[in-house]
């Protein structure tokens, strides 16, 4: 994952409302939720919710699929795992160097 791609993903989660929507979708699992179901669970106004879902989908952390008249929204678990891996990939990398210099 490149820096720009990671920054876009993390920026999408950078609002309390979008984080709330994403968490709701994560809890729903692979089945996903319709916009109405997300609205019921979060209490976010429909027009505002549509904006947040568009932002999350644009960053690739949410996928949307039309099923008849409904749109099913799902957390993209692969993308979220990649973002977590990106941010944690260098965890404690400098701690070993510091310990070696202290010894």
pLDDT in tens, 9-19: 999 999 999 99
Local confidence band at 43 (pLDDT 50, 70, 90 cut-offs):
very high
CATH at 47: 1.10.10.10
Element (H, E) at 14: none
- pTM of the full predicted structure? 0.84
Give the separation between CA 45 and CA 84, rounded to whole angstroms.
29
Residue range of the domain that includes 41: 3-102
Give the separation between CA 88 and CA 40, rounded to whole angstroms.
34
Q: How many domains does the chain have?
A: 1
Helices 3-12 and 77-88, axial angle in degrees (round to 10): 120
* Among the listed residues 4, 5, 6, the one whose alpha carbon sits nearest the alpha carbon of residue 88: 6
């Amino acid at each position: 994952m490149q820096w720009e791609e990671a920054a876009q993903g993390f920026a999408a989660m950078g609002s309390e409302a979008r984080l709330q929507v994403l968490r709701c979708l994560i809890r729903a699992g692979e089945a996903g939720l319709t916009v109405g179901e997300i609205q019921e669970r979060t209490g976010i106004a429909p027009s505002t919710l549509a904006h947040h879902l568009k932002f999350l989908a644009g960053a690739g952390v949410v996928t949307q699929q039309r099923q008849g008249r409904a749109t099913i929204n799902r957390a993209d678990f692969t993308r979220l795992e990649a973002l977590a891996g990106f941010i944690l990939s260098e965890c404690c990398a400098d701690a070993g160097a510091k310990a070696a210099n202290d010894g």
